[in-house]
């Protein structure tokens, strides 16, 4: 416990101020304090693989999320737009908590997972989705997430194809990816554009952004 200006004990601060001006309570996140612009800004500046990747720019969680959404559509072409939106948002909680590598998540244990799930639920509700996606959708997104990780591992993070296959499985047939990490500003802009396209297609927003822009 810290002390205030007058030396009185006070509880540690449990909220974060976002650039939008929102104050997000990390222990009890409200959907009303979540903005896509804050998510996009944060994710575009969070590096996958703790930044241990080749190239001039880090491969951001924002760009990773867009690839995962694309792979989900490849695996299940007729999937509803709202579940493609869920795929785009699958790592959105990391705009607050960062991208912790899987071994560290395991070390932190259940409390971390509960914290992440609470924040993810608030994000879903904010953008018109059920707090918890159906199990088949979550499984599909996880499969796409692993496929994206395979490409990242082999192209950016120094893994051999054998190592990556053992950890993440083989990528889906008929899908190939050549990764060019974007600058933070471009990743942020593309993420916001993709969000609006999918939100409109799902009937959650209006606008003139096409689902599959040329």
Which of 24-33, 71-80, 82-91, 182-191 comes out lowest in average pLDDT?
24-33
Considering the domain boundaries, does residue 9 fall inside one? Answer: no
pTM for the model stands at 0.86
Whether 151 contacts 177, CB under 8 Å: yes
Considering the domain boundaries, does residue 166 fall inside one? Answer: yes
Considering the domain boundaries, does residue 118 fall inside one? Answer: yes
Considering the domain boundaries, does residue 23 fall inside one? Answer: no
Considering the domain boundaries, does residue 129 fall inside one? Answer: yes
What the block records as the tokens of 177 is 């990816």
Considering the domain boundaries, does residue 18 fall inside one? Answer: no
- The secondary structure element, H or E, covering residue 153 is helix 135-155
Q: What's the CATH number where 185 sits? A: 1.10.3210.10
Q: In sequence order, what are the residues at sequence separation of 6 or more whose Cβ sits closer than 8 angstroms to the Cβ of residue 46?
A: 60, 61, 62, 94, 95, 98, 99
**Domain interval for residue 134:** 34-201
Q: What is the pLDDT of residue 16?
A: 86
Query: Per-residue pLDDT tens for 59-101?
Result: 999 999 999 999 999 999 999 999 999 999 999 999 998 766 5
Q: What is the pLDDT of residue 2?
A: 45
Considering the domain boundaries, does residue 195 fall inside one? Answer: yes
Considering the domain boundaries, does residue 15 fall inside one? Answer: no
| Per-residue pLDDT band at 105 (split at 50, 70, 90) | low
Mean pLDDT of 138-167: 98
Mean pLDDT of 176-190: 97
| Per-residue pLDDT band at 139 (split at 50, 70, 90) | very high
Q: What is the pLDDT of residue 210?
A: 42
> What's the domain count of the chain?
1
């Amino acid at each position: 416990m810290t002390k205030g200006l007058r030396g009185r004990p006070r509880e540690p601060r449990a909220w974060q101020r976002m650039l939008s001006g929102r104050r997000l309570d990390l222990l009890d996140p409200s959907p009303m304090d979540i903005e896509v612009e804050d998510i996009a800004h944060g994710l575009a500046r969070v590096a996958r693989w703790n930044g241990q990747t080749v190239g001039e720019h880090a491969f951001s969680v924002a760009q990773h999320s867009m690839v995962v959404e694309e792979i989900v559509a490849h695996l299940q072409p007729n999937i509803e737009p709202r579940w493609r939106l869920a795929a785009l948002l699958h790592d959105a909680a990391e705009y607050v908590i960062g991208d912790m590598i899987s071994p560290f998540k395991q070390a932190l244990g259940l409390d971390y997972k509960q914290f992440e799930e609470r924040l993810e639920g608030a994000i879903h509700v904010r953008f018109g989705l059920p707090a918890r996606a159906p199990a088949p959708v979550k499984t599909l997104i996880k499969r796409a997430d692993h496929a994206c990780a395979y490409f990242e591992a082999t192209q950016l993070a120094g893994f051999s194809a054998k190592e990556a296959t053992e950890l993440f499985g083989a990528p889906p047939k008929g899908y190939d990816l050549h990764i060019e990490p974007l600058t933070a500003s471009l990743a942020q802009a593309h993420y916001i554009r993709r969000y609006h396209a999918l939100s409109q297609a799902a009937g959650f927003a209006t606008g003139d952004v096409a689902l599959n822009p040329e």
